[in-house]
Structure formats: C-alpha cells, structure tokens
Amino acid sequence: AQKITQTQPGMFVQEKEAVTLDCTYDTSDQSYGLFWYKQPSSGEMIFLIYQGSYDEQNATEGRYSLNFQKARKSANLVISASQLGDSAMYFCAMREGDTGGFKTIFGAGTRLFVKA
C-alpha cells in the first residue's frame, strides 16, 4: 500500500491566486512528521514546511500553510498568492516515529504550473 499519495500529477494556477496540493498518508503510528518539499527544474530539494502529528495548530511558513486533517490522514499544502517562481515539483513526505524507524518516504509529487 502507498504510504504517501499525491493524486494530482499536474496542477495549473493563475498568478496571485491560491492553490491547494493534495497529500494523503497511511500510517498506524501515533508519532509521525509530515513534510513538503519543492523541487524546481534545477533539481535541488527545498524544504517548505513541517507538521508533527501531535501539533494542534496547522503549520504556516510565509505563503505556505499545511492543512492538517489527522482523522482523514491528509496534509494538503496551500500556497497563497502564487508567484511564477512557484512553478516546480512539490513532494509530500512522511517520517514515521514508531514502526517506520524514523525514515522519511516521499510521494510521487505534483507538478505545479503558475500562469502569468
């Protein structure tokens, strides 16, 4: 079974609008962390945001926020006020703290295209 599922292979958004990138996860652990990374065409991996399973508040980092719905096992990334430079691949990742031995696994990614 897939541990991390990103159902949107590609997304388009108009510049200055908000966009939500979906991520669902599967774990039986109580302790886990969720991450989002951005990978521009240059290939580097850029950390965006982190949410711990025990965090009660949704994580926010500038224009990025994580819509964490624990019961639904979803951790969607919301990018507000999209910019042309946001065009990239976005990966959701999970680090499991109990059975997973703390290793981090990634979803297949969503390619975001920001239109001018």
Partner 1 sequence: GAGVSQSPSNKVTEKGKDVELRCDPISGHTALYWYRQSLGQGLEFLIYFQGNSAPDKSGLPSDRFSAERTGGSVSTLTIQRTQQEDSAVYLCASNPLGGLRADTQYFGPGTRLTVL
Q: Write out the binding residues for partner 1, residues 30-69 only, by CB under 8 A.
A: 31-33, 35, 43-45, 47, 50, 52
Spell out the SS3 assignment of 35-94: EEEEECCCCCCEEEEEEECCCCCCCEECCEEEEEECCCCEEEEEECCCCHHHCEEEEEEE
Determine the interface stretch with partner 1 among 18-26, 27-35, 65-73, 74-82 (rule: CB under 8 A): 27-35
Element (H, E) at 6: none
Determine the interface stretch with partner 1 among 16-24, 65-73, 76-84, 98-106 (rule: CB under 8 A): 98-106
Query: Are 103 and 1 in contact, with CB atoms under 8 Å apart?
Result: no
Determine the interface stretch with partner 1 among 18-26, 67-75, 77-85, 87-95 (rule: CB under 8 A): 87-95
- 109 lies in the binding site for partner 1 (CB under 8 A): yes
Interaction site with partner 1 (CB under 8 A): 6, 31-33, 35, 43-45, 47, 50, 52, 91, 93, 95, 97, 101-109
